[in-house]
Amino acid sequence: MITTKLRKAHKWLMTFIGIQFLVWSITGLYMVSMDIHFIHGEPLKQQPLNTLELDKVTYSLSDLLSEYPQAQNIQLGRLLDKQVYRIDESQSGKLILDASTGEPLGNIDENMAKRIAKHRYTGTHDIQSIQLLSKPEQVPSELSARHLPVWQVTFSNPFADTFYINQYSGELVTTRHHFWRLFDWMWRFHIMDYDDGENVANWLLLMIALLGSLAATLGLLLTYQRVFKTSQGAS
Amino acid sequence: MPQWNKSLHKWLSLLVGIQLLIWLVTGLYFNLMDHRKASGNSNLQSINHQGIIAPERLIPVTQLAVQNAKHIGLLWLFGKPYYQVTIERGAHSYQAHNIKLFDASTGAPFTLNESLARTIALKSYNGPVNIISADLLAPPMDELPKQKNPLWQVKLQDELHTHVYIEPTSGAVVAHINDERRVRDLMFKLHFMDYLGTGGFNHWLTITFALLTLALTITGLAWLSERYRAGQLSFTHQHKTQNVTVHVSNTQHTHVLALDKHSTLFDSLAQQGIMLPSNCGGGGTCGMCRIQTNQPVKVTQADQTRLSQSKLEQGFRLACQHNACDIQHITVRTLKRTNKNAS
């Protein structure tokens, strides 16, 4: 009887991979039901409200280009209460220049990083810890090494809201909180890449998804049989 | 195991079964796809816009006719400098923004016109190609559903039907959307159940289906654990047998059969060529594979649901719910096509 064979195959396949279906369901449910903008910490970040006061930009772009002819990626913006240029310079690397004097402001120190963090944080919690990450081996898995060097500022709320502030530019490069960290774990389990979650094209996922497709097809055939082919007159 | 669990499993599978298969097949596609091609980047190349200007020719930002600037960048386009003034923008470039361009040597407002958009499109494409059309599209756009800002769309005459999307406020190439990318986007649409075209995956339809699918897997695993406890999911495959006397009432034949102790009577009788009627294939849900015995045998939940009290008292049970080790003597009624002639 074909139904019996289907049922046995479905049962045995699911005995081996049914747990992964549970994992896919739970992780998928978490990822679709949590608002992605919330996950990405957007509500934690105060958008800069202050507009530029252009009449106070007394060090002009002409001055800047005369002094730094190699400057690229020139941006005029704010650093707390100051108006500053951020530039990429072939010799000195990334620089912050005071937009009224042209004076280089140097790297962001711990005190400054704390002030920036508090300024941009929409929450009311205090800073619990702060540390400078500058070497690739210090980088936690939640941060991409391209953001180095950064100040890692962790707030004292239950979800360990964390701001990463670039040491050269003073810019808030990314944030993290426990819901995002959990989301990353959900993702790893969803794609069955348990170390860094960067490789969707892994063999384990391929094998389980192939077997899973087979098991689900058999299940669908069983359902079809039970729901639409009950012509033999069930009691 | 309550009978409603099996019933729920069946009806849930009817609801989400097709989508579950879609999830698996599109998941396989993501596992196997070529990332660069699927992003539409087969023919994409970067454009070097950087130029040189005598510093004194830049006009000061104080002379720009703009209010409420939050941020000003120096942007190069084909070797000429422009001030890119941000008045409002979101966390992502696709969110609605208010950005203006000014010629950095004259201070005049600048608009990225069609001819520049065409040039950018051609330069961003690796290889010779002709343009079919260029249009400034207002959101919403079919091919970029999240986009909330106007974009130049330049259609190219190539085999992959490439559309180049260019941001007028920066000259940046947002995407090459070609047939390879369209396949990926379709797969995402199916995987995220984005049938209403929101461009995302945080919507009620997919959340509802995710919940139903979770219920489907839980009922399935509960069913498996019930089978395990009934001894029908043992990994060690012992073929210990036991002799069972089987009386087939419709043919009036009686057989003594060596049946596998740890299979269901339904399965082991089938192995011996005695086919009991069944619709569900041994799932305990159709109630057709009944047998009768005069021995005291426990009543399972499925027996209880599918057989009347008087039948139970007469010793009727479902063959798919009991193993051969429970019973030594049974009476069965078989399907007509059963061909059991031996002993």
Give the tens place of pLDDT for each residue, A57-86. 999 999 999 999 888 899 999 998 899 999
| Interface contact A232, partner B, CB < 8 A | yes
Instruction: Please indicate, yes or no, whether residues B261 and B162 belong to a single structural domain of this protein.
Output: no
Instruction: Please indicate, yes or no, whether residues B159 and B246 belong to a single structural domain of this protein.
Output: no
Range of the domain at B157: 43-177
Say if B226 falls within a structural domain: no
* Sequence-ordered strand ranges (E) for B61-130: 71-77, 80-88, 98-103, 109-110
**Contacts with B220 from chain A: Cβ below 8 Å:** 14, 18, 21
Say if B337 falls within a structural domain: no
Chain A residue with CA closest to B8: the answer is A223
Give the tens place of pLDDT for each residue, B89-114. 888 889 999 999 999 999 999 999 99
| Interface contact A42, partner B, CB < 8 A | yes
- Report how far residue B282's alpha carbon sits from residue B265's, in angstroms, rounded to the nearest whole number: 10
Average pLDDT of every residue of chain B: 89
Nearest CA to B189 out of B8, B25, B14, B26 is that of: B26
**Contacts with B33 from chain A: Cβ below 8 Å:** 201
Give the tens place of pLDDT for each residue, B269-315. 888 888 888 888 888 888 888 898 888 888 888 888 888 888 888 88
Interface of A with B in 165-204 (CB under 8 A): 200-202
State the average pLDDT over residues A28-56: 91
Say if B78 falls within a structural domain: yes
Domain ranges within chain A, ordered by starting residue: 2-37+182-226, 51-105
Say if B234 falls within a structural domain: no
Question: pLDDT-derived band of residue B336, with 50, 70 and 90 as boundaries?
Answer: low
Question: pLDDT-derived band of residue A230, with 50, 70 and 90 as boundaries?
Answer: low
Q: Which two tokens stand for residue B186?
A: 């379709």
Domain boundary among B161, B177, B193: B177
Instruction: Please indicate, yes or no, whether residues B171 and B264 belong to a single structural domain of this protein.
Output: no
Interface of B with A in 42-61 (CB under 8 A): 50, 53, 55-58, 60-61
Instruction: Please indicate, yes or no, whether residues B157 and B57 belong to a single structural domain of this protein.
Output: yes
pLDDT at residue B343 in the model: 34
pLDDT at residue B131 in the model: 96
Type of residue at A154 = T
**Contacts with B67 from chain A: Cβ below 8 Å:** 51
Question: pLDDT-derived band of residue B337, with 50, 70 and 90 as boundaries?
Answer: low
Instruction: Please indicate, yes or no, whether residues B160 and B49 belong to a single structural domain of this protein.
Output: yes
Question: What are the Cα distances from residue B306, in Å, to A47, A195, B303?
Answer: 64, 49, 5
Q: Do B73 and A76 touch (CB under 8 A)?
A: yes
**Contacts with A4 from chain B: Cβ below 8 Å:** 266-267, 270, 278, 281-282
Question: pLDDT-derived band of residue B179, with 50, 70 and 90 as boundaries?
Answer: very high
Q: Do A57 and B61 touch (CB under 8 A)?
A: yes
Task: Return the H-helix or E-strand segment holding B260.
Answer: strand B253-260
Cα atoms in the Cβ-side hemisphere of radius 13 Å centred on A190? 20
Question: pLDDT-derived band of residue A108, with 50, 70 and 90 as boundaries?
Answer: very high
CA-CA-CA-CA torsion for B156, B45, B192, B221, nearest 10 degrees?
140
Interface of B with A in 245-284 (CB under 8 A): 266-267, 270, 275, 277-283
**Contacts with B287 from chain A: Cβ below 8 Å:** 234-235
- Report how far residue B110's alpha carbon sits from residue B108's, in angstroms, rounded to the nearest whole number: 6
Three-state DSSP at A49 gives coil
**Contacts with B285 from chain A: Cβ below 8 Å:** 226
The answer to whether residues B51 and B81 touch, using CB atoms and an 8 Å cutoff, is: yes
The number of helices, as runs of H, and strands, as runs of E, in chain B is 8, 13
Domain boundary among B144, B161, B177: B177
Q: How far is B157 from chain A (nearest CA, A)?
A: 32
Q: Which two tokens stand for residue B343?
A: 């002993």
Q: Do A54 and B61 touch (CB under 8 A)?
A: yes
| Interface contact A60, partner B, CB < 8 A | yes
Query: What ipTM did this prediction achieve?
Result: 0.89
Q: Which two tokens stand for residue A227?
A: 């729901």
Say if B164 falls within a structural domain: yes
Instruction: Please indicate, yes or no, whether residues B72 and B152 belong to a single structural domain of this protein.
Output: yes
Q: Do B201 and A62 touch (CB under 8 A)?
A: no
| Domains in chain B, number | 2
Judge whether residue B88 has pLDDT over 80: yes
Three-state DSSP at A176 gives strand
Chain B residue with CA closest to A45: the answer is B91
Q: Which of A32, A40, A209 sits opposite B24 (nearest CB)?
A: A209
Interface of B with A in 136-175 (CB under 8 A): none
Say if B327 falls within a structural domain: yes
User: Which of A226, A229, A230 should one mutate to test binding to chain B, selecting the residue with the greatest count of B CBs within 10 A?
Assistant: A226
Domain boundary among B156, B177, B198: B177
Chain A residue with CA closest to B282: the answer is A4
Judge whether residue B237 has pLDDT over 60: no
CATH number of A51-105: 3.10.450
Judge whether residue A32 has pLDDT over 70: yes
| Interface contact B73, partner A, CB < 8 A | yes
CATH number of residue B251's parent domain: 3.10.20.30
Judge whether residue B342 has pLDDT over 50: no
pLDDT at residue B265 in the model: 87
